[in-house]
Structure 1
Amino acid sequence: MHTETLVADIRILLLPLPEFAMLPFGGFLDKLRFTADEADYSRQRHCTWQILGLEPGHVESSSGIAVQTQVTPAEIGYQDFDYLVIFGGRSAKVTQALAPHYKNMLRRAAGHGVTLVCIDNACFLLAACGLLAGHKVALHWRHETEFRAAFPRIEVMSDQMYCFDGNRISCAGGTAAIDLAVEMLTRACGRTRALKGLADMLVDEARSSAHQLRSLDNEVNTGRHVSRAIALMRTLLGSSKTADELASMVGISRRQLDRLFLASHAMTAKNYWNEVRLQHVQWRLLNSDHSLTTIADEAGISDVSYLSKIFRKRFGKPPAEFRKTISHHIVNP
């Protein structure tokens, strides 16, 4: 009896880094699963994938759930794959520090023509390995300022959920990994097959790369000028630009911009921008071990003593005490 052998349209290696986030990993993988088969049998027919690790065993996610490694670099031929998709770890700094361990593997894959895909802060690893030179990158908005400071020559595509740039693809992470998977599958398998299963995943539609997240702002109907100003505040977080310059970039007067912010957020544009900076400082104190000087630079505040003063006024404790208190609660819950 003749048995037809199907050649997969797209062949993918999945590389979860230590403390990777389950949300983008699971979303991306499940989208592959729905597209891979005619029905919902999870057979790897139209697309195939394997989970890659430096060595046999398990890789633990940030939530403590472990995923088993299926293959190691010594067991595969990179020429048999089209994409290597890397899922970033919980800490950008820790992810970047993995470069000496992963550099040879990633460079070997790229040398065999495999397209490298970085999701969430995995771009820190590729950049540290010298594999993003000359490429544009999209990443999670919380990591933009840190990435720009670490790799100033690499162009960051602000307000993009994912970015295709030749043989490099990047994605901000979260549920955007599903949208990225749809676009990758569309290019390999066609739009109809790429969209298969979205309803089962309770996803309304595949979002474009330029989709604007309303959840980045607490108010949905703030208007285009305020929305644009807030997006610029995040992009220009570490700059020395003033609220007057911000208003000019938005295309309205400072007085008009303040009036719009007062109406939508009950504070001036300058005060809102200060709040954005302080929220960034708080997040970095909780999620990194970087010095306050480094964090102050990221937030565009040159005077560390001034930062300590306004941080204490906003959060009730100076930065060092805040970080120590939070760390104590994490270690001794």
Structure 2
Amino acid sequence: MQAFGKATFTELRGQANPPYDVVLCGDVSTTGSAELGSGVGDLAPVEEIVTADTVVIPGLQDPLTAQNPAVLQAVGDAARSGSRMISLCAGAFVLGQAGLLDGRRVTTHWLLADAFRAAFPRTELVEDAVYVDDGDILSSGDMPAAVDLCLHVLRSDLGAAYSYGVARLLIRTPEDRYPARSACPSPVAKSDDSLASLLDWLTEHLHEHLDLQRIAERAHLSTRTLLRHFRAHTGLTPHAWIIQRRVEAARSLLEETDLSVLQVADNTGFGSAETMRRAFAVRVGVSPRDYRSVTRRLHHAPSTVSTADAGAHHGTGARPDHGSV
């Protein structure tokens, strides 16, 4: 609702006709609108799912249980009719139970990875991905990554500038600027001084080559123990954590300096502009050059959002001005 809803569009552009018509569907016999929080409104019947250009499946309280057959039928029918399917966090289990994931690439919350593989062995689970865009099926990892995926969809449909504007509304602190908030590590337990020290060391040495063996030696752990210990406290593998930190450092340099893209890549440990470009494509949804261009333009004109950057629309997805979600 926050990413695609009318209120967000009106806040950014002050226009009455938003690009998406958002309809919240559910089983009204088991879920009343009062349970969904203030401002959401009444639920539409699940059958309306079939009419949507884009279907968004949110996270679930208990994804391992069998889901409502009527919902699964409607989700499956929508996909077969050409709707774009988006799952957030554990919502991938609904797509799997609807029979839509055989041979497809998806991700879900890392804690559910083993259960997901067991339930859907014919699906390629990309466990460490922030989000996966597999054409007409898109999926995010943890809940912060759900924001990233929504911003990725907005950029594809409406352009980088609009996605950046939504990010500024969704993300609370000035330091958390556009757009990737995915895979942000969980706070390290205060009692775990050894890992906190290791993370500080990694942050200071981002510009260097950091392979798993070197990190394990620094932590005085085996690589296997390091992986288990690191993930338990950050929710990420060391590689994913380092890439995220490098992206954040690169974003700061792109915003605040006139260093070339290659110089930024060298200074943040990516090694090459192409490696940094691929990391930005996954975690930021825009190239380093486009990121610098958009952020500088918006910093010079913070009260406006350009409408000239509208990107190509997804072939089977929600369409600006007349799409439904």
Which of 178, 195, 199 is the aligned partner of 1:205?
Answer: 178
TM-score (norm 1): 0.53
Q: Residue 152 in 1 paired to residue 121 in 2?
A: yes
- The two structures, once aligned, show a CA RMSD in angstroms of 3.6
> Which residue type is aligned with residue 131 of structure 2?
Y
> Which residue type is aligned with residue 104 of structure 1?
Q
Per the TM alignment, residue 271 of structure 1 is displaced from its structure 2 partner at its CA by 4.2
- Say which SS state the counterpart of residue 116 (structure 1) adopts: strand
TM-score (norm 2): 0.55
Which gives a bigger RCO, structure 1 or 2 (Cα 8 Å, sep 6+)? 2
Which of 57, 76, 81 is the aligned partner of 1:107?
Answer: 76
Per the TM alignment, residue 89 of structure 1 is displaced from its structure 2 partner at its CA by 1.1
Does structure 1 retain, via aligned residues, the 8 Å contact 2:140–2:149?
yes
Question: In the alignment, which residue of structure 2 is the partner of 1:53?
Answer: 26
Q: Distance in 1 between matches of 2:33 and 2:187?
A: 31
Change (3 A) 1:130 1:39: closer
Question: In the alignment, which residue of structure 1 is the partner of 2:62?
Answer: 91
User: How many equivalent pairs are there?
Assistant: 213
Question: In the alignment, which residue of structure 2 is the partner of 1:78?
Answer: 50
Question: In the alignment, which residue of structure 1 is the partner of 2:2?
Answer: 30
- Say which SS state the counterpart of residue 54 (structure 1) adopts: coil
- Say which SS state the counterpart of residue 93 (structure 1) adopts: coil
> Which residue type is aligned with residue 58 of structure 1?
G
Q: Distance in 2 between matches of 1:178 and 1:85?
A: 12
Change (3 A) 1:261 1:179: same
Change (3 A) 1:149 1:216: farther
Which of 140, 146, 160 is the aligned partner of 1:171?
Answer: 140
- Say which SS state the counterpart of residue 22 (structure 2) adopts: strand
Question: In the alignment, which residue of structure 1 is the partner of 2:149?
Answer: 180
Change (3 A) 1:133 1:44: farther
Per the TM alignment, residue 36 of structure 1 is displaced from its structure 2 partner at its CA by 2.4
> Which residue type is aligned with residue 139 of structure 1?
T
Does structure 1 retain, via aligned residues, the 8 Å contact 2:89–2:109?
yes
> Which residue type is aligned with residue 150 of structure 2?
A
> Which residue type is aligned with residue 52 of structure 1?
C
Change (3 A) 1:269 1:40: same
Q: Residue 127 in 1 paired to residue 100 in 2?
A: no
Q: Distance in 2 between matches of 1:172 and 1:186?
A: 19
Per the TM alignment, residue 136 of structure 1 is displaced from its structure 2 partner at its CA by 0.6
Change (3 A) 1:175 1:90: same
Q: Which moved more, 1:145-154 or 1:128-137?
A: 145-154
Does structure 2 retain, via aligned residues, the 8 Å contact 1:99–1:129?
no
- Say which SS state the counterpart of residue 138 (structure 2) adopts: strand
Per the TM alignment, residue 69 of structure 1 is displaced from its structure 2 partner at its CA by 3.6
Per the TM alignment, residue 258 of structure 1 is displaced from its structure 2 partner at its CA by 4.4
> Which residue type is aligned with residue 124 of structure 2?
E
Q: Which moved more, 1:103-112 or 1:39-48?
A: 39-48
Give me the identity figure in percent.
20
Change (3 A) 1:116 1:59: farther
Per the TM alignment, residue 37 of structure 1 is displaced from its structure 2 partner at its CA by 2.9
> Which residue type is aligned with residue 131 of structure 1?
L
Question: In the alignment, which residue of structure 2 is the partner of 1:259?
Answer: 217
Mark the runs of 5 or more structure 2 residues left unpaired by the alignment.
Answer: 189-194, 234-325
Question: In the alignment, which residue of structure 2 is the partner of 1:12?
Answer: none
Greater gyration radius = 1
